[in-house]
Structure 1
Amino acid sequence: MRPPDVRIGHEGANRAATRPRSQNHGGRGRKARPADDFAGTVRRLLGLLRPDRTFLAASLAVCLISVVLSVVGPKILGHATDLIFAGIVTASLPAGTSAEGVQQLRDQGHQAQADAIARVQAVPGEGIDFHRLTLVLLLALAVYLIAALLIFAQGRFSAVVVQRSTHRLRERAEAKLSRLPLGYFDRQPHGDLLSRVTNDVDNVSQSLQQTLSQIVNSVLTVIAVLTAMIIVSPLLAMIAVITVPVSVYLAALVGKRAQAHFGRQWAITGRLNGHIEQMYTGHNLVRIFGREQESAATFRAHNDALTSAGFRAQFVSGAIQPIMLFIGNLNCVVVAVVGGLRVLSGSLSIGDVQAFVQYSRQFSAPLAQMSSMANVIQSEVASAERVFALLDEPEETPDRGSQSDTPPRVRGEVAFEHVSFGYSPGSPVVQDLSLSVTPGQTVAIVGPTGAGKTTLVNLLMRFYDVDSGRITLDGADIAGLPRGHLRAQFGMVLQDTWLFDGTITENISYGADDPTTEQVIRAARATHVDRFVRTLPQGYDTVLGEDSGNLSAGERQLVTIARAFLADPPILILDEATSSVDTRTEVLIQEAMHSLRRGRTSFVIAHRLSTIREADTILVMDAGRIVEQGSHQDLLDAGGHHARLYAAQFVESMSTLE
């Protein structure tokens, strides 16, 4: 079921977002962590995997067995090499027992060959023992096959862990957006915000999928291979290990430089998305004012900066792999030379050296593989930092009360008691404002731009919390009421229409829970939506695009009015609700609104005389204060602010109506 505050959330946010904010009113929380903590971000990423630790443990166990088998494989193949070598050597010896053949070689001074034959117990005169060789090769085949199957299973477990973790990350990001104060959206470019929730989360998901199993496999392989190398030859193992600190130092040195470039890359990506989003939503105005070239130039600047940052990030991080490959190849050369000398001295067999060369490759390959993933990891961490920065933003103050604190049926009595508020410290928008509205009363709010009219509505719906004073609903302080339940008492129609990608029926039904078709049509008829919907090919099933280009501005406004009509709220807020319709349609809407307002408290923000002259009370605001209050005729007779506004703005409208 839709949360009760969703009804007005999008439209209220769109209206309020027209004024930039700099203060986190209504939100207290942890201070956002600086987005340059690589180690801290990695720890938080690993923390995302914790709920799936069972699958993670299974992945580690399967990976460990696979690595052990992969390490055993070269030793088995080394034994096969010894069988072939011993068979070739003993083929020219006189027939006899293995011990006799070994002794004969020792007598001839062939110590290394004698040691190799002793290890495999080759029989002189019989040549290669193909039966034993076949069994050894089949064993090696089985070991490698099982290891491959286990790696496949590990990939399966890792995929489950990664997808579930990123699923939770998306849910946390979406839930966070619903808890952020409106001021955050006023300050944050929408394109950059969307980039964090979509591009950055997707990048984290894909990077985790690529790196998680590979990193685990690489680390375990390094440990297992190092253990095997020590068992085979401590001297050669020491030579192989010497290169590790050098590799790690060089990789860290290059990676540190690359990380800054990746962070800049994703920050520019957010700015580029913000520009594209703004230009797309306002493409008509861009064309009308002939700003295509300026828009294209800004796009090129962002695009060039993104290309430069991406090139630097990829180029710098890409230097890690060649460095690691060079060190690995150098290590193999040293191991081969020293191993050959050990064979000549009789300390190692040829099979052991062959196995060790394979181990050396296995040892350096994971290091090179991890270095090749450096750019992926750094890009992943840069994206994760941006997502975590969003998750760390201060939230709205928690609701202090519960739904039971509110009367089951709101009567609509509203009072402002010495309310003061400013979007930023030292710049008050509303100052010591007091107002009392009785149930069923229609209050019109007029005044020049910036007088605080819309701010009054934002405070009433707790999009922002007051700095001082209080606002009450039916005698209860709204600061102690749950926001969702409070906002469910309001129906809102704004000048900036908001229609989503769906049918006309779905858009009208958005303000109510599971209305019937008859209720939707009744609301459409009452607000004169039905008369133009009937002319559309699909009628109420007509799909509206995101910009609702198949409806005129006035028709879109009528649909939002029908939505409020169907919601049937106890309190109405009409913020320039008829500014987009023609005079004739406005008269029809006023008739519908008069019926809709009957028995309900209504707040009307408007400039048209026809909209406000029938209000019970007109509030004239200026600089955040109520400077006049009374009926339309009383305020005209007083000759004050309202009379001057009337003379300046409404004479032409009055003559048109008459």
Structure 2
Amino acid sequence: MGPRWASGGKRNEEQGHEGEKKPKPQYVSAFRALSGYIREHALGFAAVFGCTLIAILSDLLQPYLMKIAIDDNLLAGVNDYKGLLLICIVYFAFSASSFFFTYLQNNLLQRIGQSIVAAVRKRLFSHILKQSMSYFDRMSGGSLITHVSSDTEALNQFFSQVLLSLFRDGLTLVFIIVMMFQLDAGLATYCLFILPVIFVIAVLFRSYMRETYQQARTRLSRLIAFVAENLAGMNLIQVFHQQKEQERQFQERNGVYFKANIREVRTHVLFGRTFDILSTLCIAFVTWIGGWAVLGKQMEFGVLYAFITYIRQFFNPINTITQQWNTLQSATVAVSRIWSVLDSKPAVNDSEEGMAEVELNRVKGEIRFDDVTFSYREGHPVITNLNLVIKPGELIGIVGATGAGKSSLISLLCRFYDVDRGSIRIDGTDIRDIPQRSLHRMVGLVQQEPYLYSGTIIENITLFDDSISREDVIAACRFVGAESVVERLSNGYDTRLSERGSGLSAGERQLLSFARIIVFQPPILILDEATANLDSYSEELIQRALNLVSAGRTTLVIAHRLSTIMGADRILVMDKGKVVEQGKHRELLARGGYYAKLYSHSQGGGDSALYESLTEKADAIN
């Protein structure tokens, strides 16, 4: 019978992993999901539409005013100066209106677009934080960074460029055609014959432009990856004098990208000039047909002037919309990629049944692994039928060769992953029945590579938990011997660390992370190779602090340095996902088994046969 905070609900002992591949969402469904954000800003988009409508009408009515001035005043010989002045005033008013509402439209759309992109970016980052560790095993950090930064920026371009073009240029085309038919239906019909030609050219160029765009972006990505790789391995490049070779390879990749970029620019120029030629031919055709009509008194000169102006304006929105194809394509792919991330579900979830109520001060710290089997990939178990009981307050050392399952055991206890079969219980309660937030306060973890944020010493130790006082932080640092490290910094505990704590040695960062775990006072403490990067003096400090902090607390220590766990209450020796030996240090040495060989090797003892035996065993495990 577990403690009073144990959940009484029955649960399934088998739980699947996040291994099933979901079908990638289609572009349409991705934009349908995005439409929910658009509906939230319906009034704003209506305002943008209204501003766009007024700005377009203000632009397109200007040629019509000139037609009135030419036909009804200048050529008619009326000489109505007041009428001309009124037309000039109205013309200026239209120009001012176009400027004002275009400015307002752009600002409104940018504000709406940025709000939507900020909301998507916030949701995306929050969703990534909720994913299980198996998700990060499959997804690279670079891909996730691209989703949060580049893909959301492509989404921003959709609102600021593509959507604006569809609004403005689409309406402009419609109104231009209406105005042309209003002026002269026959001449407008002749002009519309050019539309199929424009459509064919746009389709042909679109395919070619997509190819050149993708090729340029692919080669740019390879160039950036090459630069990043060189920056990461700069010390190796300089030590082996590879500067010339890397410079040659960079020049080669840079040249390939240059050619692809030139090809892309050439394609855009050719496409734009083709439209210019079509526009010129169309204007020449209208001038020829309209000129004969004006000379034959069948058309007024003002009508011809306005018609030619509308023809000039007719090609601009078509050209703009077509050139937005690449941006639309990038945005479409970006939205699909963003929603593929948002569609992913965490493999580890809190139970939908009643969760256990946890009081940290009542947790004793008994840990039980009941017939646990676990695999990262189906059919390749790393832990098989493991049964283990750890008593409250026991200090356990865990050793074994690489791949023996030590870290996997710890990851399961922290519930970074769920077991395939069996169960893990703390004080009799299945950890799947404990809320993850409570479980992670119960189990404190200090890893081999300590992570420090960009922030002050205080913030890095408290992790922005206001319930932890400054005095608690100072006491914890003094307890683990980190006080001398902090005191030599310029601003002491208020010193701001850069990303990953650069400027501090690995041992100093580990001391701070150890202080971090102490202030949270978890009932169960795990040290995963926590002393691997420490010098002898720092290791001695950590060892002393460990002896103090482990008193009355269940502690699990994974160690390659066997000296770290020689004083443990019990040492577990793991091999191929199983506990093959366990006992105190002296007991295990006396047995002369695998632990004794590991210890002998760690002390530099043993003959070549022993060394070969250990090597073969390690290779077999790997």
TM over 0.5: yes
Map 1:256-405 → 2, pairs under 5 A: 256-263=207-214, 265-266=216-217, 280=231, 283-284=234-235, 287=238, 303=254, 306-307=257-258, 309-401=260-352, 404-405=355-356
Given the alignment, which residue of 548, 557, 566 partners 2:510? 557
CA distance in 1, matches of 2:211, 2:572: 55
Query: Measured at CA, do residues 329 and 271 of structure 1 come closer, stay the same or move farther in structure 2, by a change above 3 Å?
Result: same
1:604 aligns with 2:557: yes
Q: Give 1:497 deviation, angstroms.
A: 2.0
Matched residue, 1:33: 24
Given the alignment, which residue of 71, 76, 81 partners 1:82? 71
Given the alignment, which residue of 576, 580, 586 partners 1:627? 580
Matched residue, 1:225: 176
SS at match of 1:49: helix
Cα shift readout 1:446-483 (whole Å, capped 9, x = no counterpart)? 10111111111112222222222222222222234333
Map 1:12-27 → 2, pairs under 5 A: 26-27=17-18
Q: Give 1:422 deviation, angstroms.
A: 1.7
Matched residue, 2:591: 638
SS at match of 1:431: strand
Matched residue, 1:213: 164
**Residues 211 and 373, structure 1, Cα contact 8 Å, conserved in 2:** yes
Q: Aligned partner of 2:507: which letter?
A: G
1:414 aligns with 2:367: yes
CA distance in 1, matches of 2:207, 2:32: 18
TM-score under structure 2 length normalisation = 0.86
Given the alignment, which residue of 574, 589, 593 partners 2:542? 589
Query: Measured at CA, do residues 179 and 634 of structure 1 come closer, stay the same or move farther in structure 2, by a change above 3 Å?
Result: same
Over the residues paired in the alignment, what is the CA RMSD in angstroms? Answer: 3.0
Q: Give 1:520 deviation, angstroms.
A: 0.9
Cα shift readout 1:286-325 (whole Å, capped 9, x = no counterpart)? 6556666676667666655655554444443554322222
Q: Aligned partner of 1:560: which letter?
A: S
Which stretch of the first structure deviates more once superposed, 142-151 or 622-631?
A: 142-151
Q: Give 1:32 deviation, angstroms.
A: 4.9
1:50 aligns with 2:3: no
Q: Aligned partner of 2:165: which letter?
A: Q
SS at match of 2:351: coil
CA distance in 2, matches of 1:429, 1:520: 38
TM-score under structure 1 length normalisation = 0.82
Q: Aligned partner of 1:151: which letter?
A: T
**Residues 369 and 424, structure 2, Cα contact 8 Å, conserved in 1:** yes
CA distance in 1, matches of 2:434, 2:472: 30
CA distance in 2, matches of 1:241, 1:72: 21
Matched residue, 1:146: 97
1:235 aligns with 2:186: yes
Map 1:430-509 → 2, pairs under 5 A: 430-509=383-462
Which stretch of the first structure deviates more once superposed, 468-477 or 199-208?
A: 199-208
Matched residue, 1:532: 485
Matched residue, 1:67: 56
Q: What are the ranges of 5 or more consecutive residues in structure 1 without an aligned counterpart?
A: 1-23, 89-126, 653-658
Matched residue, 2:497: 544
SS at match of 1:449: coil
**Residues 63 and 151, structure 1, Cα contact 8 Å, conserved in 2:** yes
SS at match of 1:602: strand
Which stretch of the first structure deviates more once superposed, 130-139 or 189-198?
A: 189-198
**Residues 358 and 438, structure 2, Cα contact 8 Å, conserved in 1:** no
1:648 aligns with 2:601: yes
CA distance in 1, matches of 2:409, 2:135: 19
Q: State the aligned residue count.
A: 589
CA distance in 1, matches of 2:254, 2:116: 32
CA distance in 1, matches of 2:441, 2:239: 39
Q: Give 1:552 deviation, angstroms.
A: 1.9
**Residues 402 and 481, structure 1, Cα contact 8 Å, conserved in 2:** no
Given the alignment, which residue of 515, 525, 532 partners 2:468? 515
Q: Give 1:485 deviation, angstroms.
A: 2.8
**Residues 348 and 418, structure 2, Cα contact 8 Å, conserved in 1:** no
CA distance in 1, matches of 2:435, 2:20: 18
Query: Measured at CA, do residues 315 and 452 of structure 1 come closer, stay the same or move farther in structure 2, by a change above 3 Å?
Result: farther
Bigger CA radius of gyration? 1
Q: Give 1:235 deviation, angstroms.
A: 1.5
SS at match of 2:124: helix
Q: Aligned partner of 2:62: which letter?
A: G
Query: Measured at CA, do residues 300 and 491 of structure 1 come closer, stay the same or move farther in structure 2, by a change above 3 Å?
Result: farther
